[in-house]
Amino acid sequence: MTKTKIAPSLLAADFGNLQRDVEMVESSAADWHHIDVMDGVFVPNISYGMPVIKAIQKYATKPLDVHLMIIDPDRYIDSFAELGAASLTVHYEACTHLHRTVQAIKAKGMKAGVALNPHTNISLLEDIINDIDIVLIMSVNPGFGGQSFIENTYQKIKSLRELIKRKKASALIEIDGGVTTKNAKQLTDAGADILVAGSFVFKSDNPTQTISDLKKAADY
């Protein structure tokens, strides 16, 4: 039975052929489009913003999973809702009033996600876990695709699984950064529900096949 969701990260797509790459994801075994928004302040890189997401949305029917690596994300919640985001993930480290931000995202009808940087401890989610739909564990430092996977991630997934169980919460666990067919199974065994993969998919010779391979490896 296949259960793990695969979310190709369009950060690694060919922006000169964005329509082609979005359509490739659409016709593949992928479940969500993962969309990385970077502001050059929270992370040392700038990716893309509203006009590009609008172009993606034009060719997408699968859910848009938007990952905000920006400071003060509250300012843009309405805009991302209008762009049709199915889930909106903000960084724990970027939100002073995380509970308020999460409520505002849900009030707009989107799934609310919280992302944790590699150094941020799972225990900090104790008082918010029942309010959120997704926890995104960064398995690289946010800002760039193509980095190597941080091994401590497995331990974090297990701690988060325990927390979710203990609190009787239902948040999904999403892993982002350095995901390949080599670590997919170990990630799902540890408790991951969603795997994001950028360069492993888009830099491969046959991205459609690679997405299927990832799904197979994850649920093996």
* Catalytic positions, written as ranges: 36, 176
Interacting residue with ligand DX5 among 21, 31, 39, 176 (CB under 6 A): 176
Cβ atoms of residues 67 and 33 within 8 Å: no
Q: In terms of Cα–Cα distance, which of 45, 63, 58 is closest to 6?
A: 63
- Per rule CB under 6 A, is residue 12 in the interface with ligand DX5? yes
Residue tagged 């990716």 (tokens) = 47
Q: Convert residues 130-169 into a mask of x (bound to Zn ion by CB under 5 A) and - (unbound).
A: ----------------------------------------
**Binding partner selected for residue 44 from ligand DX5, Zn ion, none, CB under the kind-specific 5 to 8 Å limit:** none
Using CB atoms within 10 A of its CB, is residue 214 exposed (0-12), middle (13-18) or buried (19+)?
buried
Q: In terms of Cα–Cα distance, which of 59, 73, 64 is closest to 9?
A: 64
φ, ψ at 31 (rounded to 5°): -100, -40
**In whole angstroms, how close is the CB of 69 to ligand DX5 at the nearest point?**
6
Q: In which order are the strands placed within the sheet that holds 5-8? A: 5-8, 194-197, 172-176, 134-138, 111-116, 85-91, 64-69, 33-38
- Per rule CB under 5 A, is residue 174 in the interface with Zn ion? no
**Binding partner selected for residue 199 from Zn ion, ligand DX5, none, CB under the kind-specific 5 to 8 Å limit:** ligand DX5
Q: Is residue 202 marked as binding?
A: no
- Per rule CB under 6 A, is residue 154 in the interface with ligand DX5? no
Cβ atoms of residues 92 and 120 within 8 Å: yes
- Per rule CB under 5 A, is residue 33 in the interface with Zn ion? no
- Per rule CB under 6 A, is residue 36 in the interface with ligand DX5? yes
- Per rule CB under 6 A, is residue 178 in the interface with ligand DX5? yes
Residues forming the annotated binding site?
9, 34, 36, 67, 143-146, 176-178, 198-199
Residues forming the annotated binding site for substrate?
9, 67, 143-146, 176-178, 198-199
